[in-house]
Structure 1
Amino acid sequence: MKKRLLSAAAAAFFGVLLNAQQIKFEEYDLPNGLHVILHQDNSAPVVTTGVMYHVGAKDEVKGRTGFAHFFEHLLFEGTPNIKRGEWFKIVSSNGGQNNANTSMDRTYYYETFPSNNEQLGLWMEAERLRHAEINQIGVDTQREVVKEEKRLRMDNQPYGNLMNAIQQNLFTNHPYSGSVIGSIDDLNSAKLQEFRDFYKKYYVPNNATLVVAGDIKPEQTKKWIQEYYGGLTKGTVAPKNFPKESPITKETEKTVTDPNIQLPAYIFAYRSPSNKDKDAYILNMLSSYLSSGKSSVLYKKLVDQEKKALEVQAFNLGMEDYGVFGFFAMPMGETTRQTLQADIDVEIKKLQSTLISQDDYQKLQNKFENQFVNANSSIQGIAASLATNHVLMGDTNLINKEIEIYRSITKQDLQNAAKKYLNSNQRVIINYVPEKK
């Protein structure tokens, strides 16, 4: 009876938290196609203004890679009304902070200001969209910035090109075979007009989602949005008809060298479905079951008990068109790749042949409930989630109902996904090893 009462209390506690987690928002389109999402939260005097453009590394053409990420830097160069070098000064001097980031699928810019500067954030993002300065001095300056970033994050970083190795070998037709940072040679050889054409093609209101979240008065915010964004001209957005991948039907093995490492790493990579697909959520759960935390199956066996690996991890990287499910293992001592592969395969076979225990299933559900409760704990996080769910997932309200997808996943679903996606003939094995000297 006592245990039942405790369970009821826990359920009630989570119920309160989940109800409090509901994110209320309003969304609408301007006539020029700009999608607007407003979220009012007057609990703290801050406002985040973010704009997500539906352009990422996958939209680039062969021979001109790196453009999407390059624009993440270039579009802080200024506008006719914001002098070169003044963007960050304006933000910091008005008590704000700002940043931008790029993925294979989208580019996102945002400012967070005290709420008395909400109008400033809206104006600055409208400036970026209306008439960003694309000139030779800006291009030349940001080329050097990107070169240094590539050296620091990838070329001189141990295991810095590991994700590139996975994507290059897992995708042969789709542009996910490239990298977000792209090729410096491509950027060096590109002409100024090509950058201007890229801006004209993708930085248009009907390829953008504007989100304003925080201490706002919605009616006033709408007036400012109409003033700053309403007069922008609608562009022509080309359909995203990317080449499809044929199913992987035969295991392949590749070796990639890295001059910055002393210990090898082994990756067993499988192509997984789009992050819009329910199976992507199921694979998220499977990766958590296998390697999240010291009590997880693979960590406990290979790292803790048998001391065969320094590190082991299962992951599911969801993207808009496809995903990547993989196992990463770094051997301990003389442990071979074949040994790690055999042990990982044993756990896959268990998943394919036997339902996980009720205790393990409940732990998974509790973990994802907890993640949901703790997600979106800041206005910046809420703004990014709202934009992402609209642009990449096609449903802004996933910010509230995504947990229902995880709750609906059964033990049988986990087994079925393991059977469907994690077969040896569907994978690429990557030996990521030190470069011989």
Structure 2
Amino acid sequence: MALSATLLLGGAVSAQKVAFEEYNLDNGLHVILQNDPSAPVVITSVMYHVGAKDENSKRTGFAHFFEHLLFEGTENIKRGEWFKIVTGNGGTNNANTTEDRTYYYEIFPSNNLELGLWMESERMRHPVINKIGVDTQNEVVKEEKRLRYDNSPYGQMIPEVKKKMFTKHPYRWTTIGSMDHLDAAKLEEFQDFNKKFYIPNNAVLVVAGDFKSDQTKEWVQKYFGAIKKGTPIERETFVEEPITQTIKAKFEDGNIQIPMVVAAYRTPSMKTRDARVLDFISTILSDGKSSRLYKKIVDDKKMALQIGAFSYSQEDYGTYILYGLPQAPSTSENILTEIDSEIVKLQTELISDKELQKLQNKYENQYVNSNASIDGVADNLATFYMLYKDVNLINTEIEMYRSITPEEIRTVAKKYLNTNQRLVLDYVPSSDKAKK
């Protein structure tokens, strides 16, 4: 059965190779076209190489703020009209921000491709950044922060980990940033941020779906070609000193009743092979109810209500995070001991052929699914160009996962997952709440 599944997935992967064309405009805008006539829809997307790591430490949250602000309107799209235009023409749109990039997109019926290109060119060329827009989105972002971080159970876990894991790199603050910084910023600071980063030579435009190539190239030139090239961006390099002894920290959260123990390790850039091996390790340890940690700590020993691990992958560094919620009478210390014992197994024993086959099947399936829709393809094309500098990874990255060996898994576990290289965070209910 495993062999049959592998053959079927291998056939799907081979058949699903993504063909694309890429070129540059004179202003530095990189363009990627991916033609797929299987459905009469098309996506226009623009990724800018600007994220939370590009912010001033006294003005955090700008990149995420712009994810909202650049929907306010342009010189030719009145305030409040953006979403009406999209929905009125049968489309959907969205945007998202990370520490490393900001991504905008519209999905339209294919006969509205020109509209999508015009709208994204308007966002790049003619954004209106004024006081009413800034004030409006300031309130929107504050509400988002309250919902996602301040009032959400365990909502401060990632921010607390980032603060402790990074001392020099801008990864030390969250993408949503500081509300005090946004409140203190002057209108001119927002305008300057836009002028610096939202420029054609800091962006990639992806068109994917059902379109005619020659006509699309004409429209791309028509709407984006005249946008002026911006001043080349000079980026500072931040190097963190290795963690050589356990960092111990504690955080009290008034939104929780059950403590959580967190172990976090600093890892290399998501562009590295080791980062892919760590993905495998995360899957082995905690992906699903058959994973090692879940089966042992939650199912068999019933020591935890929940257990998990994930790689927080980023362009410059990554963070590998394990966490558990103890179930009485077990404690956070007990959970950490059990987690450590499973890591030691990975560091000293080779995983079985059966486990390796399971990993390969899972990642083959994820690869197929990630390229099964035009929005997935567009996102992957933009990401591989912008952050990995290799668009064809959309076709070849799976080969990297296929080639990972049990010996590599053991080596990488030994290299990064040691007790003297980590943060241990006791995330506990607030003492005030406990007294009540």
Q: TM-score, normalised by structure 1?
A: 0.97
Partner of 2:411: 416
Greater CA drift, 390-399 or 267-276: 390-399
Which portions of structure 1, spanning 4 or more consecutive aligned residues, are displaced by more than 6 angstroms?
A: none
SS in 2 for 1:83: coil
Partner of 1:276: 271
Partner of 1:116: 111
SS in 1 for 2:43: strand
Partner of 2:335: 340
Task: Please state how far the C-alpha of 1:7 moved relative to its aligned partner.
Answer: 6.4
SS in 2 for 1:275: coil
Q: Given the alignment, which residue of 283, 287, 291 partners 1:292?
A: 287
SS in 1 for 2:408: helix
Partner of 1:166: 161
Deviations 1:158-205 (A, max 9, x none): 111111111111111100000000001000010000000000000110
Greater CA drift, 46-55 or 325-334: 325-334
Partner of 2:95: 100
Deviations 1:275-305 (A, max 9, x none): 0000000000000001111111000000000
Alignment RMSD, CA only? 1.0
| Aligned partners of 1:211 and 1:383 also within 8 Å | yes
Deviations 1:386-415 (A, max 9, x none): 101110111111111111000111000000
* 1:18-417 → structure 2 map (5 Å cutoff): 18-417=13-412
Find the aligned partners of 2:2 and 2:299 in 1 and give their Cα distance: 31
Identity of aligned residues (%): 58
SS in 1 for 2:330: coil
Find the aligned partners of 1:158 and 1:8 in 2 and give their Cα distance: 43
Deviations 1:19-45 (A, max 9, x none): 221111101111110000000000101
Deviations 1:237-275 (A, max 9, x none): 322223210100001110011111111111100000000
Task: Please state how far the C-alpha of 1:315 moved relative to its aligned partner.
Answer: 1.0
Find the aligned partners of 1:336 and 1:39 in 2 and give their Cα distance: 52
SS in 2 for 1:233: coil
| Aligned partners of 2:9 and 2:361 also within 8 Å | no
Task: Please state how far the C-alpha of 1:375 moved relative to its aligned partner.
Answer: 1.9
Task: Please state how far the C-alpha of 1:435 moved relative to its aligned partner.
Answer: 0.9
Find the aligned partners of 1:340 and 1:110 in 2 and give their Cα distance: 42
Partner of 1:425: 420
Amino acid at match of 2:231: T
Find the aligned partners of 1:357 and 1:14 in 2 and give their Cα distance: 21
Q: Give the direction of change, closer, same or farther, for the CA distance of 1:8–1:281 in structure 2 (3 Å limit).
A: closer
Amino acid at match of 1:194: E
| Aligned partners of 2:384 and 2:394 also within 8 Å | yes
Find the aligned partners of 1:119 and 1:238 in 2 and give their Cα distance: 30
| Aligned partners of 1:70 and 1:142 also within 8 Å | yes
Aligned length: 432
Q: TM-score, normalised by structure 2?
A: 0.97
